[in-house]
Amino acid sequence: MPDSLAPNLSVAAVNEPFRTRSGGRIDRAKPLSFSFDGQTYSGVAGDTLASALLAHGVHLMGRSFKYHRPRGVMTAGSDEPNALVTVSRDAGRTAPNLRATQVELYEGLSAISQNRFPSLQFDVGGINDHFAALLPAGFYYKTFMWPRSFWDRVYEPVIRASAGLGKVPTAPDPDRYLQRNAHCEVLVIGAGPAGLTAALAAAESGLRVILCDEQSELGGSLLADTTSMIAGKPARVWLTETLAELATFSNVTLLPRTTGFGYYPHNHVGLVERVTDHLASPDSAQPRERMWQVRAKEVVLATGAFERPLTFPENDRPGIMLADAATTFVNRYGVKPGKRAVIAAANDSGYRAALALAEAGVEIAMIADLRRNPSGSGYDAARRAGLSIETGKTIAGTSGKMRVDGASIASVGEDGKVWNTQDIGCDLLLMAGGWTPTLHLYSQSLSKLKWDDAIQAYVPGAVAASQALRAAGAASGAYGLDAALSTGFKAGAEAAVAAGGDGVTTRVFVTISAEADASTFLGAMPHNRDANRVRAFVDFQNDSTAKDLKLAVREGFRSVEHAKRYTTTGMATDQGKTSNMPMLGVMAQAQGKTIPEIGFTTFRPPFTPTTFGNFAGAARGDLFDPIRRTAIHHWAEGQGAVFEDVGQWKRARYFPRQGEDMHAAVARECKAVRSALGIFDASTLGKIEVVGPDAAEFMNRMYINPWTKLGVGRCRYGVMLREDGFVYDDGVVGRIAEDRFHVTTTTGGAASVLNMMEDYLQTEWPGLNVWLTSATEQWAVIALQGPKAREVLAPFVEGIDLSPAAFPHMAIAEGRICGVKTRLFRVSFTGELGFEINVPPSAARRVWEALYAEGRKHSITPYGTETMHVLRAEKGFIIVGQETDGTATPDDVGLTWAIGKAKKDFVGKRSLARPGMTDPKRKQLVGLLSVDNRTVLEEGAQIVADPKQPKPMTVLGHVTSSYMSAALGHPIALALVEAGRSRMGETLQVLVPGKGSVAVKLVSPVFYDAEGASLDAV
């Protein structure tokens, strides 16, 4: 924003009665039009929504959370608790709860107020304020309990409706959010005088520096400083020159509108840059926000300080604001926040504000200083200016409804006695309560805060292990411009050195500026009214008062965390920026303790509220999680396949033809495989190459099966357990050579099986000479299954004799197909003659299409996972994850035969001997046939002996898989049933909720071709 050095009497001055005639960092030549609650106003470039409304004398900007009290703007920055608005571009681009003090004005901006009905001026919720006596802290814990059913039906909905602030957008947010990583040696957060000099010092070392600030312009307090001189120049000129100097460094990144929101382990800092919110017509190529994940060697926190409000009765009326906020509105935005001001001062900030207001033509009715003997440059200047100063004064109350119209000023003695109340008319009441260093990020880093009695504030203490940060300027408790500039430069130089930089210089910044002042007052200000009746607000947004905090203490909530939670103080959307220290002051008073004895609440990220979009970034839709597609995917898509998600893979579930539902398609596919030929994409199966002189020994240890005697060129079905004895994975393993196994895993298990193998190999048996390589992406797998499989396959294969004798069931051979290398398995998960053709993915589509073309002679039929499931169930083959669920032993699912009996040890073996694993009452895999021969059972359905028993029923087992078998013409199911193998032939009942039960007969889980005749069909 350019300085408007020359007075420019434009429309702004005419239309905006509270706009100053000149000055500020606004551009009076650029008028803007905006609306608030439907009414159109004017503003100028450089305004915030708050400053533009104040230019029209509008202070009422919100309603409080609990009592719905009218509230005006209280601050000029990110600590604002009151002026919360919803800004909307359209239904999806609607953002609730924005602080009017941070919303940059643009042409056409549309904002509405919140938490009021029907209007901000007249809010029926304001009735709560009249019943405030009935609504002390925690009132809801003590009532709303009768009758019992009324809580969630009556009371809670009413409470919910009156709570909340803005409304959720009604349409999806169409904007984009991006994230980027950044590395730098020195990250400086906050670009006020301390941050600027820190960045300068670090920049000179040549290291990478990032300087960010939450505001639209870099400069911090300098943006509103019209009186100080730095190095012989006005502060604003020094700022302009310094920013220009920083811009000349190629190693410096300057980020305005960028908030450091979170400090994470190992110096990982999250920044959010607001890219387009301030623009009237954002470029759609730009993201709305960009998250910077910065990994900084060193961090300098130059985050300044927040001014403290004062806790006096009725301190919450519109027109009551922080002194420094008033200074900012006048000096930076050229706006007078009122006509006649009273200033309640416990710190020189009040004098600074009074002088700035007076110069802009605001009448200063009184500076009521709580201190008895104030002194210093601010006091002297105010005195010289002839302002009315009264000392030893407290505020005993205020008047006014939608706007403050008077303050009761009273004398206060050293003993706290209050007398001589006088009412003074005003439309602006400023609070100068002293300062709180902004140490949110410091605390988030787990670094310690320590109490500094001299400035009555927490300041940086010991830095947390594995973090590297320091604070400078007001954030470190070093108040005043001099200290900010010097401690900033020093911190920047030290950070640069710590980060390995050299060439750091020293600089001295000579200033003429107001003396630093750390005076403050914490706790409820003294007054002579009934303390049980008046309300002095501590958390303005959540409406918690000094009285509430005292009640909490009275009821035993002595811990600051308890009082915070009981009264909700510090839990509003400003997260206590204006309320934390006043809360500690009141609690200390109430308990007769010092503030450090009270303790403090933990700071949590984010520093200011941060959009969900910022965190989610680009992860939406297809980018939410990678999509894995096989080489055959697009072919299947072209055939109209319906896909399912299996892990990250897309797998073809079935291939419906016109008019078919899933059941019809699956029945057709099943028949085709059993009668002629089916083709199936098994590429998603995990593949691991186990190679080395000790490969067989490694396999012996990892799998339950014996591998030593498996011949080269032969395959075996392998089962892997976890060390706790439960089935973890399964798959066919082929022996390619003495020292080489081709291991297949389940689709979902591929990565974790490899990880488990690597774990044992690397950490338990490093002496085994074995290498493991994931080969999942190296081989596409085409399963050709059905009586015609060999006939169709043979013409394409070179180098492998496919005759039954030379290439029997469970054989594997390497050769060529369609001119490319293949690992050909003769295996069958269907019970039919079958081959699994492993080829490089680049050739898979060509091989698939060649086989498909050849197979058309036999009506080759592509089938999906659903048909695969039916065919294997007909054969009684389990699916890990369906028949097993992480709680099944090999014996439970009928795999005891696979265990290498002679093996002394394998992963999981010892666990199988535990009593719980050998219990005869364990559930065992069985087949189920519906006695009526037509009911297809529901998967997951529960099996009982007596369906009429009372609940909770004694359940004997559950259905794991259930299908209509096209081959058999009746339904089949697999189930796990308590001692199932000893119940063969028994009839049990499968519950059908709401409909009773279905009688089932327990049978062998192998329904089709138990002899395996089809495997060798010719």
Partner 1 sequence: MERFSGLSLLRHALGGHQGWKPFWREPEPKAEYDAVIVGGGGHGMGAAYYLAKEHGLRNIAVLDKGWLGGGNTGRNTTIIRSNYLFPESAALYDHALKIWETLSQDLNYNTMFSPRGVLMLAHTVHDVQVFKRHVFANQAAGVDNEWLTAEECKAYCPALNISQNIRYPVVGGALQRRGGTARHDAVVWGYARAADAMGVDIIQNCAVTGIRRDASGAVEGVETERGFIRTKKVGVSAAGNTSVVMSMAGLRMPLESFPLQALVSEPVKPDFPCVVMSNTIHAYISQSDKGEMVIGAGTDAYTSYTQRGGLHIASHTLDAICELVPMYRRLRMLRNWGGIVDTTPDRSPIISKTPVKGLYVNCGWGTGGFKATPGSANLFAHTIAKDEPHPINAPFSLDRFVTGRFIDEAAAAAVAH
Partner 2 sequence: MLIIPCPHCGPRPELEFRYGGQAHIARPVDPSPLSDEEWASFLYSRDNERGIHAERWRHIHGCARFFNVVRDTTTDQILASYKTGEFRPEAV
Q: Which of residues 269-298 bind partner 1 (CB under 8 A)?
A: 270, 293
Locus of tokens 């201190």: 371
Using CB under 8 A as the binding rule, whether residue 464 contacts partner 2 is answered as yes
Q: Scanning residues 342 to 381, which ones bind partner 1 (CB under 8 A)? A: none
Binding partner of 669, given partner 1, partner 2, none, CB within 5-8 angstroms per partner class: none
* CB-nearer residue toward partner 2: 387 or 756: 756
Stretch that binds partner 1, among 133-141, 239-247, 316-324, 783-791 (CB under 8 A): 133-141
* Distance in angstroms (rounded) separating the CA atoms of residues 659 and 66: 59
Q: Scanning residues 973 to 992, which ones bind partner 1 (CB under 8 A)? A: 991
Binding test (CB under 8 A) with partner 1, winner from 39, 130, 148, 767: 148
Beta strands 715-721 and 727-737 are: antiparallel
- Return the sign of the alpha-carbon dihedral for residues 244, 250, 252, 256: positive
Residue 597: which H helix or E strand, with range?
helix 595-598
Binding test (CB under 8 A) with partner 2, winner from 153, 634, 914, 934: 914
Using CB under 8 A as the binding rule, whether residue 615 contacts partner 2 is answered as no
Q: Scanning residues 617 to 656, which ones bind partner 1 (CB under 8 A)? A: 617, 619-625, 627, 644-647, 653
* CB-nearer residue toward partner 1: 709 or 948: 948
Beta strands 834-839 and 780-785 are: antiparallel
* Distance in angstroms (rounded) separating the CA atoms of residues 772 and 756: 11
3-state SS class at 567: helix
Closest CA to 310 of 349, 340, 337: 349
Give Cβ neighbours of residue 677 (< 8 Å, ≥ 6 apart): 784, 785, 786, 787, 788, 789, 792, 855, 858, 859, 860, 861
Backbone angles phi, psi at 811, to 5 degrees: -105, 155
Q: Scanning residues 876 to 935, which ones bind partner 1 (CB under 8 A)? A: 879-882, 884-887, 911, 914-917, 919
Using CB under 8 A as the binding rule, whether residue 645 contacts partner 2 is answered as no
Stretch that binds partner 1, among 86-94, 329-337, 389-397, 453-461 (CB under 8 A): 86-94
Kindly provide the residue ranges of all beta strands, DSSP E only, lying in 401-551, ordered along the sequence: 406-412, 418-425, 428-432, 435-437, 449-452, 457-460, 469-471, 511-512, 537-539, 544-545
* CB-nearer residue toward partner 1: 398 or 745: 745
Binding test (CB under 8 A) with partner 2, winner from 156, 910, 987, 1016: 910
Count of residues near partner 2 by CB under 8 A? 27
Binding partner of 576, given partner 2, partner 1, none, CB within 5-8 angstroms per partner class: none
Binding test (CB under 8 A) with partner 2, winner from 117, 144, 264, 509: 264
Q: What is the DSSP string of 200-239?
A: HHHHHTT--EEEE-SSSSTTGGGGG-SS-EETTEEHHHHH
Closest contact distance (angstroms) between CB of 542 and partner 1 is: 9
Using CB under 8 A as the binding rule, whether residue 911 contacts partner 2 is answered as yes
Using CB under 8 A as the binding rule, whether residue 265 contacts partner 2 is answered as yes
Q: Scanning residues 728 to 787, which ones bind partner 2 (CB under 8 A)? A: 755, 758-760, 762-764, 766
Length of the chain: 1018
- For residue 802 the two structure tokens come to 């496919």
- For residue 591 the two structure tokens come to 């308990």
CB atoms under 10 Å from CB of 591, counted, come to 14
Using CB under 8 A as the binding rule, whether residue 610 contacts partner 1 is answered as yes
Count of residues near partner 1 by CB under 8 A? 124
- For residue 757 the two structure tokens come to 């193998």
Q: What is residue 316's DSSP assignment?
A: T
Sheet of strand 233-234: strand arrangement: 233-234, 229-230, 511-512
Using CB under 8 A as the binding rule, whether residue 904 contacts partner 2 is answered as yes
* Distance in angstroms (rounded) separating the CA atoms of residues 1000 and 989: 6
* Distance in angstroms (rounded) separating the CA atoms of residues 589 and 567: 17
Q: What is residue 949's DSSP assignment?
A: S
Backbone angles phi, psi at 35, to 5 degrees: -130, 145
Side-chain-side CA neighbours of residue 744 (13 Å): 23
Closest contact distance (angstroms) between CB of 166 and partner 1 is: 6
Q: Scanning residues 277 to 316, which ones bind partner 2 (CB under 8 A)? A: 295
Using CB under 8 A as the binding rule, whether residue 604 contacts partner 1 is answered as yes
What mask, x for binding partner 1 by CB under 8 A, covers residues 432 to 471?
------------x-x-------------------------
Query: How many degrees, rounded to 5, is the angle at CA 678 between CA 673 and CA 684?
Result: 120
* Distance in angstroms (rounded) separating the CA atoms of residues 94 and 88: 4
Kindly provide the residue ranges of all beta strands, DSSP E only, lying in 840-921, ordered along the sequence: 861-862
Stretch that binds partner 2, among 169-177, 344-352, 416-424, 459-467 (CB under 8 A): 459-467
Answer for the pair 64, 543: CB distance below 8 angstroms, yes or no.
yes
Closest contact distance (angstroms) between CB of 919 and partner 2 is: 14
Binding partner of 510, given partner 2, partner 1, none, CB within 5-8 angstroms per partner class: none
Residue type, 33: S
> Residue 990 pairs with which residues in a beta bridge?
943, 998
Using CB under 8 A as the binding rule, whether residue 152 contacts partner 1 is answered as yes
Using CB under 8 A as the binding rule, whether residue 532 contacts partner 1 is answered as yes
What mask, x for binding partner 1 by CB under 8 A, covers residues 989 to 1018?
--x-x-------------------------
3-state SS class at 937: coil
Answer for the pair 425, 365: CB distance below 8 angstroms, yes or no.
yes
* CB-nearer residue toward partner 1: 80 or 324: 80
Stretch that binds partner 1, among 18-26, 72-80, 104-112, 941-949 (CB under 8 A): 941-949
Answer for the pair 600, 458: CB distance below 8 angstroms, yes or no.
yes
* Distance in angstroms (rounded) separating the CA atoms of residues 492 and 202: 5
Closest CA to 350 of 372, 374, 371, 369: 369
Binding partner of 905, given partner 1, partner 2, none, CB within 5-8 angstroms per partner class: partner 2
Using CB under 8 A as the binding rule, whether residue 577 contacts partner 1 is answered as no
* CB-nearer residue toward partner 2: 295 or 740: 295
Using CB under 8 A as the binding rule, whether residue 21 contacts partner 2 is answered as no
Using CB under 8 A as the binding rule, whether residue 724 contacts partner 2 is answered as yes
* Distance in angstroms (rounded) separating the CA atoms of residues 1016 and 108: 78
CB atoms under 10 Å from CB of 808, counted, come to 13
Binding partner of 466, given partner 2, partner 1, none, CB within 5-8 angstroms per partner class: partner 2
Binding partner of 968, given partner 2, partner 1, none, CB within 5-8 angstroms per partner class: none
Give the chain's radius of gyration (CA, Å). Answer: 38
Closest contact distance (angstroms) between CB of 917 and partner 2 is: 10
* CB-nearer residue toward partner 2: 504 or 761: 761
Kindly provide the residue ranges of all beta strands, DSSP E only, lying in 905-948, ordered along the sequence: 923-930, 942-944
Closest contact distance (angstroms) between CB of 187 and partner 2 is: 15
Stretch that binds partner 2, among 4-12, 127-135, 582-590, 904-912 (CB under 8 A): 904-912
* CB-nearer residue toward partner 2: 451 or 760: 760
Stretch that binds partner 2, among 265-273, 449-457, 564-572, 862-870 (CB under 8 A): 265-273
Q: Scanning residues 749 to 778, which ones bind partner 1 (CB under 8 A)? A: 749
Using CB under 8 A as the binding rule, whether residue 887 contacts partner 2 is answered as no
Closest contact distance (angstroms) between CB of 400 and partner 1 is: 24
Binding partner of 909, given partner 2, partner 1, none, CB within 5-8 angstroms per partner class: partner 2
Binding test (CB under 8 A) with partner 2, winner from 502, 723, 849, 919: 723
3-state SS class at 1012: coil
Using CB under 8 A as the binding rule, whether residue 266 contacts partner 2 is answered as yes
Residues engaged in binding partner 2 (CB under 8 A):
264-266, 268, 295, 446, 464-466, 723-724, 755, 758-760, 762-764, 766, 904-905, 909-911, 913-915
